[in-house]
Chains A and B, each alone.
Chain A
Amino acid sequence: MNKFLLTASAATIALAGAVGTAAARDQIRVVGSSTVFPFTTAVAERFGQSGEFQTPVVESTGTGGGMKLFCAGVGESHPDFTNASRPIKDSELETCKANGVTPVEIKVGFDGIVISNSKAAKQIDLTKEQIFAALAKNVEVDGKVVANPYTNWSDIDESLPNTKIEVLGPPPTSGTRDAFVELVMEEACPEAIEAADGCTEIREDGAYVEAGENDNLIVQKLEANADAFGIFGFSFLDQNADKLQGSTIGGVAPTFEAIAAGEYGVSRSLFVYAKKEHVGAIPGMEEFIKEYTTDTAWGPEGYLADKGLIPLPDDARAKQAEDAQALKGMGS
Chain B
Amino acid sequence: MTDTLAGGAKPQNNQHTNEQARGRLRKRYAAESRFKWLGAGAVLLSAFFLLLLLSTIVFKAFPAFRANELTLPLNLSAEHVNPDNLTGNNYDTIISDALLSLFPQVEGRQERRQVRGLISSGAPTLLRQALQNGSLTPGGTVEYALPMDDFADLYLKGLLAADSAETVLATPQSVAVEGNEAELRFSDDSLLDAAREAGALEEDGGALRLTTGAASFIIYLGGGAVKITDLAPDADAGVVARGPVLASVSADAAGPVRLRVIATPEGQRKISDREIVWVDQLKADGRTASAWNTQFFFGGASREAEMAGIWGAVVGSALTMLVTLALSFPIGVAAAIYLEEFAPKNRLTGFIEVNINNLAAVPSIVFGLLGLAVFLNWFNLPRSAPLVGGMVLALMTLPTIIIASRAALRAVPPSIREAALGVGASKIQTVFHHVLPLAMPGILTGTIIGMAQALGETAPLLMIGMVAFIVDIPGGFTSPATVLPVQIFMWADFPEPAFQQKTSAAILILLGFLILMNAVAVVLRKRFERRW
Contacts and interface: CB of A to CB of B under 8 A. Distances in A.
Question: Are chains A and B native binding partners rather than an unrelated pairing?
Answer: yes
Interface of A: 2, 5-6, 8-9, 12-13, 15-17, 19-22, 27, 29, 34, 37-38, 41-42, 44-45, 48-49, 51, 54-55, 57-61, 77, 119, 213-217, 233, 235-236, 238-242, 301, 303, 307-308
A213 B489 CA distance: 11
Contacts of A213: 493
Interface stretch (B7-15, B18-26, B286-294, B376-384): B376-384
Contacts of B436: 2
B330 A239 contact: no
B497 interface: yes
A57 B470 contact: yes
Nearest to B491: A216
Contacts of A215: 493, 495
A301 B391 CA distance: 45
Contact of A214 (B121, B381, B469, B492): B492
A53 to B, nearest CB: 11
B380 A57 contact: no
Interface size class for chain B?
35 or more
Interface in B337-376: 375-376
A168 to B, nearest CB: 16
B471 A303 contact: no
Nearest to B387: A16
Given A216-B492, A308-B495, A44 B471 contact: yes
Contacts of A48: 471-472
Contacts of A29: 383
23 contacts: A5-B330, A6-B334, A8-B326, A9-B326, A9-B327, A16-B381, A19-B381, A20-B381, A22-B382, A44-B469, A48-B472, A57-B384, A57-B469, A60-B490, A213-B493, A214-B492, A215-B493, A239-B496, A241-B267, A241-B270, A242-B160, A242-B161, A242-B268
A20 B121 contact: no
B87 interface: yes
Nearest to A308: B495
A51 B87 contact: yes
B330 A9 contact: yes
Given A215-B493, A241-B269, A19 B326 contact: no
A236 B495 contact: yes
Given A8-B326, A20-B380, A242-B264, A37 B469 contact: yes
Contact of A16 (B160, B270, B391, B497): B391
Contacts of B499: 216
Contacts of A301: 113
B96 interface: no
A240 B497 contact: yes
Given A6-B334, A22-B478, A77 B383 contact: yes
B430 interface: no
B303 A41 contact: yes
Contact of B380 (A12, A77, A233): A77
A303 B121 contact: yes
Interface in B88-128: 113, 121-122, 124-125, 128
A205 to B, nearest CB: 29
A55 B334 contact: no
A15 B468 contact: no
Nearest to B476: A19
Contacts of A241: 267-270
B480 interface: yes
B92 to A, nearest CB: 11
Nearest to B494: A38
A57 B330 contact: no
A307 B329 CA distance: 45
A21 B380 contact: yes
B200 to A, nearest CB: 18
B299 to A, nearest CB: 12
Contacts of A41: 303, 469
A194 B173 CA distance: 70
B500 interface: yes
Given A2-B432, A12-B323, A38-B494, 8 more contacts: A5-B326, A9-B327, A19-B381, A57-B384, A214-B492, A216-B495, A242-B161, A242-B270
Nearest to B264: A242
Given A27-B480, A55-B472, A57-B468, A307 B323 contact: no
Given A5-B330, A12-B327, A38 B495 contact: yes
B398 to A, nearest CB: 12
A301 B117 CA distance: 12
A7 to B, nearest CB: 9
B490 to A, nearest CB: 8
A9 B331 contact: yes
B497 A239 contact: yes
Which one of B379, B382, B385 has the highest number of Cβ atoms from chain A below 10 Å of its Cβ? B382
B448 interface: no
A301 B432 CA distance: 69
Contacts of B383: 29, 77
Contacts of B238: none
A24 to B, nearest CB: 11
Contacts of A6: 330, 334
A48 to B, nearest CB: 5
Given A9-B331, A235-B495, A241-B267, A307 B303 contact: yes
A210 to B, nearest CB: 16
Given A49-B125, A58-B469, A242-B264, A5 B492 contact: no
B303 A38 contact: yes
B493 A216 contact: yes
B497 A59 contact: no
Nearest to B432: A2
Given A57-B469, A240-B497, A2 B333 contact: yes
Contact of B472 (A54, A77, A216, A233): A54
B65 interface: no
Contacts of B465: 57, 59
B477 to A, nearest CB: 7
The 5 A-B pairs of least Cβ separation, nearest first, read A55-B471, A59-B468, A239-B495, A58-B469, A41-B469
Nearest to B304: A45
A45 B379 contact: no
Interface in B113-148: 113, 121-122, 124-125, 128
A8 B394 CA distance: 14
